[in-house]
Chain A
Amino acid sequence: MTDPSHDSSPAADLDPEVADRNRRLVAALLDGEHRALARVISRIEDRAPGHRDLVSRLHPHTGTAAVIGITGSPGAGKSTLVDKLAAAYRDRGETVGVVAVDPASPYSGGSVLGDRIRMAATVGDMDVFVRSMSARGRLGGLSTATTDAVHALDAFGKDVVLVETVGAGQNEVDIVRTADTVAVVVQPGSGDDIQMLKAGILEIGDVFAVNKADMDGVDRLIAELEEMLHRRDGDGAGAGSAAGHHGPGAAPGDTDPTAPADSDSGAPEWEPRVVTTVATAGEGIDDLVDAFDAHAAYLRASGAGTERARSRHAAEIRRLVREDANVLLDAEIRRRGGLDALADRVLAGETDPYTVASEILDPIADCVDAAGEDAATDGDDPSALGDE
Chain B
Amino acid sequence: MSADAGGERNRPIRCLIAKVGLDGHDRGAHVIARAFRDAGFEVVYSGLHRAPEEIVQAAVQEDVDVLGISILSGAHNTLVPKIVEGLKEYGAFTDTLLIVGGIIPEEDRDGLREMGVAAIFGPGTPMQETVDFVRENAPARTDDPA
Chain A contact residues, CB within 8 Å of chain B: 10-11, 13-15, 18, 21, 24-25, 28, 33-36, 38-39, 41-43, 46-53, 104-105, 107-114, 116-118, 120, 123-124, 126, 129-132, 134, 136, 323-324, 327-328, 331
Contacts and interface: CB of A to CB of B under 8 A. Distances in A.
A233 B40 CA distance: 45
A38 B1 CA distance: 28
B37 interface: yes
Q: Is the interface of A mostly helix, strand, loop or mixed?
A: mixed
Nearest to B37: A110
B91 A35 contact: yes
A112 B34 contact: yes
B interface secondary structure, majority: loop
A14 B3 CA distance: 10
Interface in B31-71: 33-34, 36-47, 50-51, 53-54, 57-58, 60-63
Interface stretch (B8-16, B97-105, B119-127): B8-16
Contacts of B7: 47, 49
Contact of A46 (B5, B10, B60, B91): B10
A108 B37 contact: yes
Contacts of A111: 37, 42-43
Interface string B119-137: 0000000000000000000
Given A15-B5, A50-B5, A120-B47, 12 more contacts: A21-B144, A35-B63, A35-B90, A39-B63, A52-B2, A111-B37, A112-B34, A112-B45, A113-B43, A113-B45, A116-B58, A324-B3
B107 to A, nearest CB: 32
B4 A112 contact: no
A15 B6 CA distance: 9
A17 to B, nearest CB: 10
B62 A108 contact: no
Contacts of B60: 34-35, 38
B146 A14 contact: no
A14 B4 CA distance: 8
Contacts of B14: 42
A117 B43 CA distance: 12
Nearest to A133: B42
Contact of B9 (A34, A49, A107, A110): A49
B57 A123 contact: yes
Given A108-B39, A112-B45, A116-B46, A52 B3 contact: yes
